[in-house]
Amino acid sequence: MSERARLGVRKTYKLFIGGAFPRSESGRSYVVNDAKGRFLANASRASRKDVRDAVAAARKASGGWAARTPYNRGQILYRVAEMLEGRRAQFADELRAAGAGKNAAASEVDEAIDRWVWYAGWADKLGAVAGSANPVSGPFFNFSTPEPTGVVGIVAPDSPLLGLVSVVAPAIVSGNAAVVVASEPAPLPAVTLAEVLATSDLPGGVVNLLTGRRGELAPWLASHMDVDAIDLAGASPDAVRELEEAAAGNLKRVLRPSRQDWSAEPGTARMTAFLETKTVWHPVGV
């Protein structure tokens, strides 16, 4: 019996908002090609309303996530790393399709998993490093403790896995919720990460991932009055000033893009960038 030619089933990936996978309300999608220009998949092209829905989901989730103990947040992030490990082959295939060589793709997946574990380990240590007991003149205790900023918007870089992990993990490890605009040319690792997050212990809405045109989505995210801070890691140099001006509407914290070697030692800067410091005075002996 001869083999019958089959019609290809072309997948259209959805958005990740509030722990669910809705279609874009716009009904739009765009074609994702591999490094050689061959079709890979269709990705949802998010709209302004999708940005609003994602911010609302992040705001709803932020209070509960911030209220969890740092130890519990670390456990949850470590569980995500375990699940990333289980999908190493899929991530490597997606990176190869985006143009990485076989060895480079495998190495980036390993680095991304190790990076996620590294940030998970910081969850219950960040308070001790970023906080302090302050010397004061008088019969008082004076303590400064870090607290999450709230909802963080992230324009992800075109390093589709290691760069993505390097901007998402530090934002949420301290208790923030995030709305992420994924890499436009290579969104599939972000979609796969969303599938991992959806089946992990991470509460819905803590991370929300949007695919689509970066130039269309980033301005709405930067100007949204319920976003407290924004990381412009993946913004183009020409767009940075416009996005900073949009962010000034509610005095958002802005982390500007810089030349970044995502494989370099990350340090603590991205974690502390989205923390607020609360200082408490307490009388001695009371």
Give pLDDT tens digits for 61-99: 999 999 999 999 999 999 999 999 999 999 999 999 999
DSSP secondary structure, 32-62, as one string? EE-TTS-EEEEEE---HHHHHHHHHHHHHHH
**Backbone phi and psi for residue 260, each to the nearest 5 degrees, phi listed first:** -125, 125
Give pLDDT tens digits for 265-286: 999 999 999 999 999 988 887 5
| Cβ contact 80:197 at 8 Å | yes
Above 90 in pLDDT, residue 10?
A: no
Please, which pLDDT band fits residue 11 given cuts at 50, 70 and 90? confident
Mean pLDDT across the chain: 94
Please, which pLDDT band fits residue 137 given cuts at 50, 70 and 90? confident
CB proximity list for 226: less than 8 A, separation 6 or greater? 55, 56, 59, 151
Regarding the domain with residue range 41-283, which homologous superfamily does it belong to in the CATH classification?
Aldehyde Dehydrogenase; Chain A, domain 1 (3.40.605.10)
Instruction: Please indicate whether residue 207 or residue 284 has the higher confidence score (pLDDT).
Output: 207
User: Quick one: average pLDDT of 6-24?
Assistant: 90
Tell me the C-alpha distance between 179 and 53, whole Å: 10
Domain map of the chain by residue range? 41-283
Give pLDDT tens digits for 27-63: 999 999 999 999 999 999 999 999 999 999 999 999 9
Most confident region among 6-20, 130-144, 197-211 by mean pLDDT:
197-211
What pLDDT does 9 receive?
Answer: 75
Return the bridge partners of 255, or none: 231
What pLDDT does 4 receive?
Answer: 77
What pLDDT does 251 receive?
Answer: 95
Give pLDDT tens digits for 159-177: 999 999 999 999 999 999 9
Give pLDDT tens digits for 237-265: 999 999 999 999 999 999 999 877 899 99
What pLDDT does 2 receive?
Answer: 58
State pTM to two decimals: 0.93
